[in-house]
Amino acid sequence: MQQPFNRRSFIQKGLASAAGLSLLTNFGNDLFAAVQKQRLYSAPSDLQITDVKCAYIRNGHSLFVKVYSNQDIVGHGEAVDATPGTYYLVKMMGDRIRGKNPLNVHRIFEDVRRRGFFEGAQGGMYISTLTAIESALWDLAGKALNVPVYQLLGGKFRDNIRVYCDTASSREKPEIMGQRAKEVVDEYNFTAVKFDIDDPNDPNKYDPYNWTVGPAELQRMVDQITAVREAVGPNVDVCVDMHGRFDMTSGKRVAKAMEPLKLMWLEEPIPAENAEAYKYITESTSTPICAGENHYLAYGFRPLLEIGAVDIIMPDLQKAGGLGEAQRIANLANVYYVPFAPHMVASFLGAMASAHVCASIPNFLILEWQIYFHTNPMFKEIVNYEGEMIVDGYIPLSDKPGIGVEINEEGLKKYADKDMPFFT
Ligand code: MG
């Protein structure tokens, strides 16, 4: 471990109080030796970023970064979805932030974002890569200052973060979806579940490119979610995702047909680009309409919020710009009294990073959780953490310095994409 202090610099930096100096007189060099062996939380003003390295799993769709410093403190961050092909973006951003003090998270974020204005810094891979690095900076800063990330974000409104379970058992027969919904609620005590109803292989689709829901397809959707609602009863929230695979009139029809089922929300009935089209759907139905997992930055959410295009926003905090940007998005939504319900398809590192943001804002509704945390051992092997991931449908917020979850490099190596760099 690098030692930034020596006896002279320790005194010069004024970190020893008068009482401390008196102790020095008493204990002499032994105390200096002890100070030199301490972890280096006490020199934040001297922190510098030295390198950024990355690794990938899930065919490049999960990016893990480590931000290294000159004081042996490493920040861990994650991005998803818009990440295949981002290795050289990681390297470029690493070059741009090397030598900077990682405690200036907002400033570094803004420097990298503005410098990328002509490089695609409005969304996509550029912002997803920046998201992973920005999250790692919060982790690093928290470790350097010995506080959890939620504290850096201004403190917490809540200690436990409510989640809904994406069951990954969608596009099945209604009775199977109902059965699965009941199983996850009974087994894990989730208070909310989500199912997908878009099915590109539905034989009743008009053709593979047409986006209009037909009567048979619509009936299939209603039958599926009716089975889910009947299985879980009236007091468990049900969310339904259409993955942006329909046109506006279909979005209206599905939302209307779902009204008796009292959904928590209908998600992305249409693609992300047209806020006005969302507004037409939202205004046509009592089913709450939710979107945002394919929107980036507070700038991307402004049109949705400004015209009342959606009832609920669901930014993905592993791609929308980072934890600080997520807080800005949430606060912007709060001005319009719009709830904040983040999308989450990351590892437990990303889940806990998201949880810190969810704790720090008033208008948090619910965070996505994936059944794969319970069924796929990879998700336990690739991270290090203490305690329970989840208790009765809530994530207990970590009080450890930083995010409180780290990449387990040994575990990750087992699943890393073999043709991609691995923290090199
Ligand atoms: Mg979705």
User: Distance from the CA of 385 to the center of ligand 1, in angstroms?
Assistant: 27
Of 106, 126, 147, which closes a domain?
147
Instruction: Return the closest-CA partner of residue 137 out of 75, 50, 89.
Output: 75
Q: Is residue 415 part of a domain?
A: no
Compute the distance between CA of residue 363 and CA of residue 141 in angstroms, rounded to an integer: 25
Q: Which pLDDT score, from 0 to 100, does residue 160 have?
A: 98
What global pTM score does this model have? 0.90
Q: What residues make up the domain containing 174?
A: 152-400
Q: Is residue 12 part of a domain?
A: no
Residues 350 and 220 in one domain: yes
Q: Is residue 185 part of a domain?
A: yes
User: Distance from the CA of 403 to the center of ligand 1, in angstroms?
Assistant: 25
Residues 92 and 111 in one domain: yes
Each residue's pLDDT tens digit, 44-69:
779 999 999 999 999 999 999 999 99
Residue 24 reports pLDDT greater than 80: no
Q: Is residue 157 part of a domain?
A: yes
User: Distance from the CA of 270 to the center of ligand 1, in angstroms?
Assistant: 11
Question: What's at 59, amino acid-wise?
Answer: N
Helix axis angle, 323-335 to 105-115, nearest 10°: 90
Q: Is residue 421 part of a domain?
A: no
Residues 173 and 291 in one domain: yes
Count how many domains the chain has. 2
Each residue's pLDDT tens digit, 122-172:
999 999 999 999 999 999 999 999 999 999 999 999 999 999 999 877 778
Residues 118 and 162 in one domain: no
Q: Is residue 390 part of a domain?
A: yes
Residues 116 and 142 in one domain: yes
Whichever domain contains 90, its CATH number is 3.30.390.10
User: Distance from the CA of 96 to the center of ligand 1, in angstroms?
Assistant: 33
Contact between 329 and 364 under an 8 Å Cβ cutoff? The reply is no
Q: Is residue 382 part of a domain?
A: yes
- pLDDT, mean over the chain: 92
Residues 162 and 88 in one domain: no
The phi-psi region of residue 58 (left if phi > 0; otherwise alpha if psi is between -120 and 50; otherwise beta) is: left
Compute the distance between CA of residue 170 and CA of residue 167 in angstroms, rounded to an integer: 7
Q: Which pLDDT score, from 0 to 100, does residue 30 have?
A: 56
Residue 195 reports pLDDT greater than 70: yes
Residues 332 and 369 in one domain: yes
User: Distance from the CA of 50 to the center of ligand 1, in angstroms?
Assistant: 37
Whichever domain contains 393, its CATH number is 3.20.20.120
Each residue's pLDDT tens digit, 67-120:
999 999 999 999 999 999 999 999 999 999 999 999 999 999 999 999 999 999
User: Distance from the CA of 241 to the center of ligand 1, in angstroms?
Assistant: 5
User: Distance from the CA of 81 to the center of ligand 1, in angstroms?
Assistant: 12
Residues 142 and 164 in one domain: no
Contact between 416 and 56 under an 8 Å Cβ cutoff? The reply is yes
Of 147, 171, 186, which closes a domain?
147
User: Distance from the CA of 102 to the center of ligand 1, in angstroms?
Assistant: 33
Residues 120 and 220 in one domain: no
Q: Is residue 21 part of a domain?
A: no
Residues 302 and 230 in one domain: yes
Residues 110 and 239 in one domain: no
